[in-house]
Amino acid sequence: QVQLVESGGGLVQPGGSLRLSCAASGSIFRFYDMGWYRQAPGKQRDMVAVITSGGITNIADSVKGRFTISRDNAKNTVYLQMNNLKSEDTAVYYCNAALNGINYWGKGTLVTVSS
């Protein structure tokens, strides 16, 4: 089991940057595949970026080149660095942990990109 708490969301102007953090509690964090997903009003929850336990990353085409996912196993934390933010990035961002077919979710942090 793992519990996830996101932080770092807020209001930012277009073109700005934010770094989201997801702090995990529980055992064997380093064995989990971790990811960030987002859900905008009226839309489904979509994958933004994932990083496997082995460090392999997969970034959604819509954010590729702007967002970077990373993890610090010593701190039990996964990050999402978001640069050149656009209005369409506005959403609630959720942290995900997956292992052996079981998924855990954080409660989300709101990112609003607006001038």
The pLDDT tens digits of the residues spanning 8-30 come to 999 999 999 999 999 999 778 99
* DSSP 8-state secondary structure symbol assigned to residue 88: G
Which ranges in the chain belong to alpha helices (H)? none
Distances in Å between the Cα of 81 and the Cα atoms of 21, 64, 70, 78 are 9, 11, 8, 10
Q: How confident is the model at residue 1 (pLDDT cuts 50, 70, 90)?
A: confident
Tell me: pLDDT of 63 over 80.
Answer: yes
94 confidence band (pLDDT: 50, 70, 90)? very high
3-state secondary structure of 8: coil
Contact 6, 105 (CB under 8 A): no
Out of 4-13, 25-34, 68-77, 97-106, which region has the weakest mean confidence (pLDDT)? 25-34
pLDDT at 35 over 80: yes
Q: Please report the pLDDT score of residue 32 as a whole number.
A: 95
Going by pLDDT thresholds of 50, 70 and 90, the confidence category of residue 2 is confident
Write down the pLDDT at residue 7: 98
pLDDT exceeds cutoff 90 at 87: yes
